[in-house]
Amino acid sequence: MNDYYAELGVSRDASVEDIKRAYRRKARKLHPDVNPGPEAEAEFKQVSQAYDVLSDPQKKRAFDAGSDPYAGAADGFGAGFSFTDIMDAFFGGGAGAGRGPRSRRQRGQDALIRLDIDLRTAVFGEEEEVTVDTAVACGTCQGEGAQPGTGTRTCEACGGHGEVQQVQRSFLGQVMTSRPCANCQGFGSVIINPCFECSGHGRVRTRRNLTLKVPAGVDTGTRIQLAGEGEIGPGAGPAGDLYVEIAVRPHETFQRRGDDLHCVLEVPMTAAALGTRLPIETLDGAETVEVRPGTQSGEVHTLKGRGVTHLRGTGRGDLLAQFRVVTPTKLAGEQEDLLRRLATLRGEEQPSGSLTHVENAGLFGKLREAFRGK
State residue 112's pLDDT score. 93
- pLDDT given at position 84: 47
Share of the chain above pLDDT 70, in %: 83
pLDDT tens digits, one per residue of 65-77: 777 776 654 444 4
- Mean pLDDT for 129-156 is 90
* Other CB atoms within 10 Å distance of the CB of residue 292: 12
Q: Which helix (H) or strand (E) holds 95?
A: strand 94-95
| Structure confidence by residue, pLDDT tens digits, 145-171 | 899 888 889 998 888 888 887 776 665
The C-alpha atoms of residue 227 and residue 242 are separated, in whole angstroms, by 6
- How many other C-beta atoms can be found within 10 angstroms of the C-beta atom of residue 327? 8
**DSSP string computed for 222-247:** -EEEETT-SPPBGGGBPP--EEEEEE
Higher pLDDT, 362 or 315: 315
End-to-end distance of the chain based on CA atoms, in angstroms?
A: 48
Task: Please give the radius of gyration of the chain, using alpha carbons only, rounded to the nearest integer.
Answer: 37
Cα–Cα nearest to 233, from 132, 148, 145, 153: 145
State how far the alpha carbon of 110 is from the alpha carbons of 115, 165, 205, 213, in Å: 16, 35, 14, 19
With a cut of 80, say whether residue 105 has pLDDT above it: yes
Q: How open is the CA angle 217-220-221, to the nearest 5 degrees?
A: 105
Q: Does position 58 have pLDDT exceeding 90, yes or no? A: no
Which has the closest alpha carbon to 323: 366, 274, 271, 363? 271
Write phi, then psi, for 84 (nearest 5 degrees): -60, -35
- The pLDDT assigned to 317 comes to 96
pLDDT category of residue 96 using cuts at 50, 70 and 90: very low
Q: 256 versus 164: which is more confidently predicted? A: 256
Share of the chain above pLDDT 90, in %: 38
Among 7-11, 163-167, 188-192, 245-249, name the most confident range: 245-249
pLDDT 10s digits, 174-198: 677 778 888 888 889 998 889 889 8
Paired strand residues for 168: 175
pLDDT band at 1 (very low <50, low <70, confident <90, very high): low
Nearest 5°: the CA angle 166, 171, 176 is: 20
- Whether the per-residue pLDDT at 374 is higher than 70: the answer is no
Residue 83 confidence class, pLDDT cut points 50, 70, 90: very low
| Contacts of 10 by beta carbon, 8 Å cutoff, 6+ apart | 18, 19, 22, 54
Q: Return mean pLDDT, the chain.
A: 82
**Rounded-to-integer distance, Cα 4 and Cα 60, Å:** 10
pTM beyond 0.75, yes or no:
no
pLDDT band at residue 143, thresholds of 50, 70 and 90? confident
364 pLDDT more than 50: no
Cβ neighbours for 162, distance < 8 A, ≥ 6 positions apart:
98, 99, 100, 101, 102, 155, 180, 181, 184, 186, 187, 188
Residue 94 has pLDDT above 60, yes or no: no
- State how far the Cα of 301 lies from the Cα of 320, in Å rounded to an integer: 6
In which element (H, E) is residue 9 found?
A: none
Instruction: Identify the top-confidence range among 43-57, 220-234, 355-369.
Output: 220-234
Rounded Cα–Cα distance for residues 168 and 175 (Å): 5
Give CA–CA dist 9/54, Å, rounded: 12
Nearest to 68 by CA among 53, 85, 52: 53
Segment of 41-50, 57-66, 184-193 carrying the highest mean pLDDT: 184-193
Looking at per-residue confidence, does 88 or 233 come out higher? Answer: 233
Q: Assign 273 to helix, strand or coil.
A: helix
